[in-house]
């Protein structure tokens, strides 16, 4: 035990030079030296020791976490600290679709595999029968997509695609009539008009560049204009002005900066912290723009009693009446308070209509033209069908589009090779036991559906690299295994806008086929390699075609 003086010197050392009051009321500083052995202790670097201890603790935590699936009897890969199985995706060496397909191919033959995103667990079913259970039969265990949203701080994120539970079920039922054949006919003239404008632009560009045109950018402008007109009631003029605000905001929504990646890491790993910090899924510029556009347009229409044949008008009906009336496009019967859409909810639905519709559809149309540029026989067969049907109907009508069966097979085969969503997500909402096993998926764990892997699996689609629309003709489409082809998802949470997407694609393809013959330009980089920064399949360098006006 220290002597009194040693203990006193420690106190003085810890509190530095404490002032001590003397009997005359004055103060003086004590200057008492530490014993030599105590001075030695004081030079031990505490912070590095704490840091090293914390690092060891974190490493041990991750190592233990990485044994989770193995302890459950689930096959797993070799996760690396601290990124788990996703280092190549996090560092943008691979996009998510390619990575999951790589894992699918490597683990083929097993019914499932366990993955790790940092320390978070994810379950990857590989067997179509199990996938059918997850998406269909046992949907009540997986009705949530597990996509982050924050209604309070980021209301634009609370759209039909992300929300879950009773609110999703109620909103899905309300919005389904908006995509009925009757409502799509209502919007058809607007889409066709955008298609004719696209054709005119392509003719000008082909003449100016001796035929070479980067088709994907033009189609992205076309689909942006279509969605702008149909979802927001605005003439965006993106085809004439590539720097139009709608186009720039659409690009920004699908571009991931380094900051966006870090933000998503926080959202995925620490959602409570993300809400506390008010971190939104999209950039503030994007959310402010779309909120402003929807609010201003709805208020303008309501104040001036304006009605237009578009999706936004249907959202206005939901705001007023709580339902979409098939007959009445403006006023309807009033519903109980709280059943109609709020302004924020209407903006969120218009936003997801835009987000889900423009980039995925333009990419599908681009890949369809790319494949037809390499297959002259397929291109000519599709062109003959389009020309004959337009001639027999006198115009590009809804009925005309519905009869384009061969063109439809071209689109289906394109989405097989290049699925718009190469991977889609579900979240376990109620603990689930895999049938005929002891494997448990716990509530809150993610489930990934390997759409791209299934579509390119030779067991289900022989010669998967071959582009063959006949896989989807009347004779063969019944032979496709259930839940091996899912370009629009499957089960109760499949894509609500698939009819709209098909019409949009058919109009663009039929008008291009009718007005041009095309081959692949030498400017297209072969073999195709996909961008690693985005969330959908996008070829590096674009898709260039050599267009010749007919």
Angle at 68 between CA 62 and CA 74, to 5 degrees: 140
Instruction: Check whether 495 is labelled as a binding-site residue.
Output: yes
Rounded CA gap, 144 and 165, in Å?
7
Question: Which positions ≥6 away from 373 have C-beta within 8 Å?
Answer: 379, 518, 519, 520, 545, 546
- Pick the closest to residue 374 from 468, 507, 470, 508 (CA basis): 468
Rounded CA gap, 367 and 214, in Å?
12
Question: Which positions ≥6 away from 348 have C-beta within 8 Å?
Answer: 155, 156, 157, 158, 159, 160
Q: Is the peptide bond before 527 cis (omega within 30 degrees of 0)?
A: yes
Q: Parallel, antiparallel, or unpaired for β 19-21 and 27-29?
A: antiparallel
- Looking up tokens 């605000």, which residue turns up? 245
- Looking up tokens 């032979």, which residue turns up? 479
Q: E strand or H helix at 455, and its extent?
A: helix 451-455
- Pick the closest to residue 295 from 316, 326, 269 (CA basis): 316
Rounded CA gap, 339 and 345, in Å?
12
Q: Is 538 exposed, middle or buried (0-12, 13-18, 19+ CB in 10 A)?
A: buried
Annotated binding-site residues for heme read 495
Annotated binding-site residues read 495
């Amino acid at each position: 035990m220290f002597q009194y003086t040693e203990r006193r010197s420690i106190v003085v050392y810890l509190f530095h030079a404490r002032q001590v009051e003397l009997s005359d009321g004055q103060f003086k500083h004590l200057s008492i030296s530490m014993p030599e052995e105590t001075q030695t202790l004081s030079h031990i670097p505490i912070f590095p020791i704490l840091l090293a201890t914390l690092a060891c603790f974190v490493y041990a935590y991750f190592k233990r976490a990485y044994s989770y699936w193995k302890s459950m009897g689930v096959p797993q890969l070799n996760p690396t600290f601290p990124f788990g199985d996703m280092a190549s995706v996090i560092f943008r060496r691979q996009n998510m679709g390619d990575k999951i397909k790589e894992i699918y191919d490597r683990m083929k033959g097993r019914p499932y595999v366990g993955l790790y995103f940092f320390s978070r667990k994810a379950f990857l079913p590989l067997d179509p029968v199990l996938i059918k259970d997850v998406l269909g039969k046992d949907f009540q265990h997986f009705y949530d997509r597990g996509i982050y949203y924050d209604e309070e701080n980021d209301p634009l994120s609370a759209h039909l695609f992300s929300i879950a539970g009773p609110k999703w079920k109620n909103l899905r039922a309300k919005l389904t009539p908006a995509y009925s054949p009757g409502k799509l006919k209502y919007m058809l003239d607007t889409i066709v008009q955008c298609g004719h404008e696209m054709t005119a632009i392509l003719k000008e560009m082909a003449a100016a560049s001796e035929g070479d045109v980067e088709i994907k950018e033009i189609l992205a402008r076309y689909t942006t204009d279509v969605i702008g007109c149909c979802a927001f009631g605005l003439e965006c003029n993106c085809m004439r002005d590539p720097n139009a605000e709608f186009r720039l905001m659409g690009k920004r929504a699908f571009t991931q900066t380094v900051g966006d990646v870090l933000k998503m890491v926080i959202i995925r790993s620490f959602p409570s912290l993300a809400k506390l910090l008010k971190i939104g899924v999209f950039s503030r510029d994007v959310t402010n723009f779309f909120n402003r556009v929807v609010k201003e347009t709805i208020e303008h229409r309501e104040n001036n009693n304006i009605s237009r044949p578009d999706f936004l008008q249907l959202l206005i009906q939901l705001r007023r009446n709580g339902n979409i009336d098939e007959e009445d496009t403006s006023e309807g019967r009033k519903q109980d308070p709280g059943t109609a859409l709020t302004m924020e909810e209407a903006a969120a639905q218009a936003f997801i209509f835009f987000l889900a519709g423009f980039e995925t559809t333009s990419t599908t149309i681009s890949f369809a033209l790319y494949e037809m540029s390499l297959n002259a026989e397929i291109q000519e067969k599709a062109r003959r069908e389009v020309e004959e049907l337009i001639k027999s109907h006198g115009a590009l009508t809804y009925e005309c589009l519905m009869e384009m069966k061969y063109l439809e097979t071209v689109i289906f085969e394109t989405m097989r090779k290049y699925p718009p969503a190469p991977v889609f997500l579900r979240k376990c909402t109620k603990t689930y036991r895999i049938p005929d096993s002891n494997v448990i998926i716990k509530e809150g764990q993610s489930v990934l559906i390997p759409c791209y892997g299934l579509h390119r699996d030779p067991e289900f689609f022989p010669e998967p690299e071959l582009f063959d629309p006949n896989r989807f003709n009347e004779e063969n489409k019944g032979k496709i295994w259930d839940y091996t082809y899912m370009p629009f998802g499957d089960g109760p949470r499949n894509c609500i806008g698939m009819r709209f997407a098909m019409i949009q694609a058919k109009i663009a393809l039929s008008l291009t086929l009718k007005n041009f013959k095309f081959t692949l330009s030498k400017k297209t980089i072969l073999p195709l390699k996909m961008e690693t920064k985005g969330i959908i399949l996008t070829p590096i360098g674009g898709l260039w075609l050599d267009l010749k006006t007919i």
